[in-house]
Structure 1
Amino acid sequence: MLFKIVFSDIDGTLLNSQHELLPSTLKAIHRLREKNILFVPISARMPKAIVPILKELAVKAPIISYNGALILSAENEQLFSQKPAEQNCLSILKDIRTQWPQIVINYYCADDWYVEDLSDRLVKEEAAITGVTPLEASFQVLLNSGKLPHKLLCMCPPAICQQMEDVLTPCYPDFNIIRSSPTLLEIIDKSVSKAHAVKKFMELYNIPASQAIAFGDNYNDLDMLSTVGMGIAMGNAPLKVKTAAAQITSSNDADGIYNALRAIKLL
């Protein structure tokens, strides 16, 4: 089968457990470029946290960020943007603060990351992983100024993360509420998903779904893996994600992307 595009999640997929690119992954992406196969990162990350990875790959490529809420061209032109309504944001933030006052909330808008306490340990850890420095601001002030978020990110222990997803999902039908890892809960507009972003992107670039590959490792990759011609789950993915994929490769620490592309003779 002729493939024209490869979408890849970043954390847990493109990067290993140390948040690094494996030499085999670098080699694989370079080979794709030589074959004129478009490589597109698709991530819950903000654009600013994706650009350094593209630089390391020596690739100029479009970016799909915030789980599909924002799509940028290779020239940094905004191709698609979707944010939730202000009242919905106010309501869910109030509920989270009331029911789970101990958790950390991150507020992302375009290429800016806001927190209400820069000194928080989890915020510092996230900054170290992404290489991005957050800004300190009141979320209420941001909303009042019309600066609506592309994404809210809650950081909490796995049991709390699961509880929040279970409690908030039926109460807020206008949001997509999904875990991107056991300790991270993503909150985006209901119309936003990686699958929707992939479909939108392929429409813009006139590429049929049958000619697309997607790599993923977590629950927010589920719908994307079943949208493309070949969805490939990483070996480190949960069973539910592996079940949704057409193929399963080795883990992100064991040359997963390289091995999968080699197995289907793209390398």
Structure 2
Amino acid sequence: MLSYTLMTCDMDGTLLSDDATICTRNIQTIRQAIGAGLHFVPCTGRGFESLNHIQETLGIYQKPGEYVISYNGALITENSHNDILYEDGLPWDIASALYDFGVAHHITMHIYPYGKVYLYNYVPFERAFLEGRMPNIETFEPSLDFLKGQTVYKIVYMDPDLPTLNRYRQQLGSLLDDVTVSYSSDRYIEFNHKNVTKGTALRKLAGLLHIPISQTLAIGDNINDTEMLKAASFSVGVHNLNEAIRPYCNVVTEATNNEGAVAEAIERFILKQ
């Protein structure tokens, strides 16, 4: 019998190695746990469409009764047809204003409508980082009107300098009153609708599946995983975690993301006899 039946797992820096692959130890252990009845749910800031190859590797691609939490918790989809179970996008006026600010300040931006990601001011530094991580579409549009009528789940600003990202946050001022702000990958500041977090989505999915929170486990590595770690009954940080999230972890793995940290968590806390 499994110790936990719903596991939410961050992708970059947690499940994925630094080269954006999944180590053999993780693949084998996750497949074993899924076969034993675990709902293994990728919980990511990315869009669900970028996880197809990851789901194929883990054996859950287009599999009924399996799920993805994407856009930092703004969307929950069921794998077989990517049907939307829950969504909470940015209000259009806020999304448009965030885009306008990014254009005015020549910021590298990610824009996430359903099933796609657009990159604005797609500089070589960011191209190199995203290669092999997720498909994207470059845009040069001066306003967000090219997505008018679509839900925008998340907008991201990229800069490797944290003080610069914090300055943008300060300059945006009251525009962020109805926005959840998070940081990831030591290069992104991310904007979602107010109250959208990975933790909110974890609780929402558990409720939809009639799984008690006491049966949930979460694993992550960075600041945008904080609410997910706080929401789960048992929280695991990987060895390479951002120290800011250590207080929210019940345990930290001995293995890094390159060494099978997710497999270690499953072996120790889910498949244990």
1:78-132 deviation digits (Å, cap 9, x = unpaired): 111111111112333333444xx242011110011123456x3145335413241
Match of 1:95 in 2: 101
Match of 1:140 in 2: 143
Match of 2:224 in 1: 220
Match of 1:107 in 2: 111
Shift of the 181–199 alpha-carbon distance from structure 1 to 2, 3 Å rule, reads same
Shift of the 9–176 alpha-carbon distance from structure 1 to 2, 3 Å rule, reads same
> Is the contact made by 2:159 and 2:187 (CA closer than 8 Å) also made in structure 1?
yes
Aligned mates of 1:147, 1:209 — CA distance in 2? 33
Match of 2:168 in 1: 164
1:261 aligns with 2:266: yes
Instruction: Output the amino acid matched with 1:231.
Output: S
> Is the contact made by 2:178 and 2:193 (CA closer than 8 Å) also made in structure 1?
yes
Aligned mates of 2:40, 2:142 — CA distance in 1? 35
> Is the contact made by 2:96 and 2:144 (CA closer than 8 Å) also made in structure 1?
no
> Is the contact made by 2:114 and 2:151 (CA closer than 8 Å) also made in structure 1?
no
Instruction: Output the amino acid matched with 1:78.
Output: I
> Is the contact made by 1:4 and 1:38 (CA closer than 8 Å) also made in structure 2?
yes
Instruction: Output the amino acid matched with 1:178.
Output: S
Match of 1:74 in 2: 79
1:179 aligns with 2:179: no
Instruction: Output the amino acid matched with 1:257.
Output: V
2:109 alignment partner, SS class:
strand
Instruction: Output the amino acid matched with 1:30.
Output: R
Bigger shift: residues 226-235 or 146-155: 146-155
1:63 alignment partner, SS class:
strand
Cα distance, 1:172 vs structure 2: 1.2
Which of 227, 246, 249 matches 2:253? 249
1:50 alignment partner, SS class:
helix
Bigger shift: residues 6-15 or 107-116: 107-116
1:177 alignment partner, SS class:
strand
> Is the contact made by 2:98 and 2:155 (CA closer than 8 Å) also made in structure 1?
no
Which of 142, 155, 158 matches 1:155? 158
Aligned mates of 2:270, 2:222 — CA distance in 1? 25
Match of 2:233 in 1: 229
Aligned mates of 2:73, 2:173 — CA distance in 1? 19
Match of 2:68 in 1: 63
Match of 2:7 in 1: 6
Mind listing any 5+ residue stretches in structure 1 that lack a counterpart?
none
> Is the contact made by 1:161 and 1:179 (CA closer than 8 Å) also made in structure 2?
no
Aligned mates of 1:221, 1:253 — CA distance in 2? 18
Shift of the 231–165 alpha-carbon distance from structure 1 to 2, 3 Å rule, reads farther
Bigger shift: residues 193-202 or 30-39: 30-39
Shift of the 181–169 alpha-carbon distance from structure 1 to 2, 3 Å rule, reads farther
Match of 2:215 in 1: 211
> Is the contact made by 2:14 and 2:220 (CA closer than 8 Å) also made in structure 1?
yes
Aligned mates of 1:143, 1:194 — CA distance in 2? 28
Aligned mates of 1:169, 1:181 — CA distance in 2? 23
Aligned mates of 1:68, 1:128 — CA distance in 2? 24
Aligned mates of 1:143, 1:200 — CA distance in 2? 31
Bigger shift: residues 224-233 or 52-61: 52-61
CA RMSD of aligned residues (A): 2.1
Match of 1:128 in 2: 131
